[in-house]
Chains A and B, each alone.
Chain A
Amino acid sequence: MSQVYNWQLGRQMSYPYDGKYPERQFAFVFNINRCIACQSCTMACKSTWTFSKGQEHMWWANVETKPYGGYPHAWDVKILDLLHQADPDGRRWRGASAENPQAPYGQFPGKTIFEAAEKFLEPPSARVLGYLPADEEWNSPNIYEDNPVGPKGVRNQFHLTGEQLPVHNTWFFYLARICNHCTYPACLAACPRQAIYKRPEDGIVLIDQSECRGYRKCVEACPYKKSMYRGNTRVSEKCIGCYPRVEGSDPETGGEPMETRCMCACIGQIRMQSLVKLNPDGTWAEDRQHPLYYLVHVAKVALPLYPQFGTSPNGFYIPPRWVPREYLRQMFGPGVDQAIERYSNPDRELLAVLQLFRRSNRIIFRYEIEEGPLAYEGLYRGKQVRIYNDTAIAFGENGRELFRTTVEEPLHVRPAKHQNSI
């Protein structure tokens, strides 16, 4: 195996191939605090890419209720368990979070899914630790999750109050997921046909349908279970990052890069997607005014999903504030406490950047902040708070202004004549 640098783990790690990095990398930030599991993203993706025969169980974009839910069922519990069995003493982060973008979360010395495979799997050709979910784990994506159900034997009717169980002091949240278009994709590493590749222009990971023979090694290897097998064509398929939109070939934008379907459909305004510049070693190149660079590397409020798997995922999450920290640290690494502290008490710049979410379906490449007047000053939860009505200005790929929005965004009210018009 080759040695590659994984900045999310803060160290070199083993990977079956040499590190090859795209010019720019597809990446996204999801703000879990805002997700209401409306499944608009899920349906936007489904109705665009996976509506055909043989794709019935395929949900490239999904939203699951945590901690119980998962698609396929218990995917994260199972892979965490496999890693724990392979490396029971190594599942701890070491060192403190640092300003160094080469190791912002400290160091994770434990074995990744590639390193665990190297040591524990037979035959030696096995490259990635993983498992193949059974059919029933795929076929009911939200079974028993936080979904309304009706009375027994009565169709098309919900319980009138929705209250069925005594109220417990418990917790849950919604985790929206798509393919992370990892920097070190496990699907790519495992494919015996080399049918999976990472596009040099945007880092989107694709399966070449003409090369795939449906061995399902990618399905077994992807720790996030975002590669799926299609029975009637006998090849595997996965999220394509809506690459025609990202390329700007959608006629709506006149050549300007556009965010994916799942991003644009998000009514909770939890999502932002862009392309980030990379250094020759695969770390993010400094790009201070890029909104994703700011959220991940400057404000550090957005964290990778299960970085300890070792694939260097390019999906980042602003963790939910109310969830037990131990659970969140396992899911997002040791940066959780700092991320929640900063998100709960945002500074002036963070507050303005958070306004950029979902104001446009064009990809934002740069932002600027214009300072505005003091809008509120007072105590909030015992702390002195000052809110300034700053203006966040978003720019597209060619430097053209896409839109501007303010911290105190005005509510637009329809005039009486058009109250009911669509």
Chain B
Amino acid sequence: MPYDDPDPGDPMLLVGVTLPAEEDSAEEMAYVFAEEFARLGFSEQRLLSLFQEPFYAGAHQALELLGENRIRGIVQEAVGMWGHFPYRVNEPVARPSWDVPVGALAFPGSTKAHNPDGDEV
């Protein structure tokens, strides 16, 4: 990215062009963001904070154009439809025991062995 002042003679200079959106474009974009992220498991609060984050340019633009109340309504609607996720806690898979004595994993000269499960032995 060039940091110097713009050079009007530069053929690569960015020229702003108006590309007006259709009337309901911002609303449609907001619905798409809300639906896709709700389906990924985002909660209402998390989704709303995505819209509030200026670095999510598209979502934030929709919030600026439609206002926070409208976005909140869209988020609630999307989460209402897609937010029924059954949460599942995965229990650790039982592994076969090590086929070498743990003491054999000690570094040379060390009195402690390295245990991949994190416990010191």
Using a CB–CB cutoff of 8 Å, the interface residues on chain A facing chain B are: 33-34, 67-68, 73, 136, 140, 143-144, 146-149, 152-153, 158, 161-163, 167, 169-172, 320-325, 375-376, 378, 380-381, 385, 387, 408-415, 417-418
Contacts and interface: CB of A to CB of B under 8 A. Distances in A.
Nearest to B85: A411
Given A148-B55, A162-B55, A170-B21, A376 B91 contact: no
Among A170, A325, A413, which residue has the most Cβ atoms of chain B within 10 A?
A170
A149 B88 CA distance: 40
A167 B92 contact: no
A33 B36 contact: yes
B106 interface: no
B53 to A, nearest CB: 8
A158 to B, nearest CB: 8
Given A171-B19, A172-B58, A322-B25, A411 B32 contact: no
A376 B28 contact: no
A75 to B, nearest CB: 15
A413 B89 contact: yes
A225 to B, nearest CB: 17
18 contacts: A34-B36, A67-B19, A143-B1, A147-B1, A158-B55, A169-B26, A170-B19, A170-B61, A321-B31, A321-B32, A322-B25, A375-B84, A376-B84, A378-B81, A408-B86, A410-B88, A413-B87, A413-B89
Nearest to B63: A167
Contacts of A152: 3
Contacts of A376: 81, 84
Given A171-B25, A321-B28, A415-B92, A408 B85 contact: yes
Contact of B3 (A153, A321, A378, A385): A153
A134 to B, nearest CB: 10
Among A149, A322, A409, which residue has the most Cβ atoms of chain B within 10 A?
A322
Nearest to B24: A322
A143 B88 CA distance: 43
A411 B90 contact: no
Contacts of A409: 85
Given A33-B32, A171-B29, A408-B84, A162 B90 contact: no
Given A146-B57, A149-B1, 5 more contacts: A143-B1, A147-B1, A163-B54, A170-B19, A325-B22
A108 B84 CA distance: 45
A42 to B, nearest CB: 18
A381 B29 CA distance: 14
Contacts of A146: 57
A33 B96 CA distance: 44
Interface of B: 1, 3, 12, 14, 17-22, 25-26, 28-29, 31-32, 36, 41, 54-55, 57-58, 61, 64-65, 77, 80-81, 84-92
Nearest to B90: A412
A147 B41 CA distance: 26
B32 A136 contact: no
Nearest to B88: A410
B58 A411 contact: no
Contact of A324 (B17, B18, B25): B25
A67 B19 CA distance: 9
Contacts of A172: 58
B31 A381 contact: yes
A418 B92 contact: yes
Nearest to B26: A169
A236 B3 CA distance: 33
Top 8 A-B residue pairs of the complex, sorted by shortest distance between their CB atoms: A322-B28, A322-B29, A162-B54, A167-B64, A171-B21, A410-B88, A144-B14, A411-B41
A67 B16 CA distance: 12
A192 B22 CA distance: 46
A33 B39 CA distance: 13
Nearest to A159: B54
B3 to A, nearest CB: 5
Nearest to B21: A171
B52 to A, nearest CB: 11
Contacts of B58: 172
Contacts of B14: 144
A10 B81 CA distance: 39
Nearest to B3: A152
Contact of B25 (A33, A143, A149, A169): A169
Contacts of B89: 412-415
A202 B113 CA distance: 52
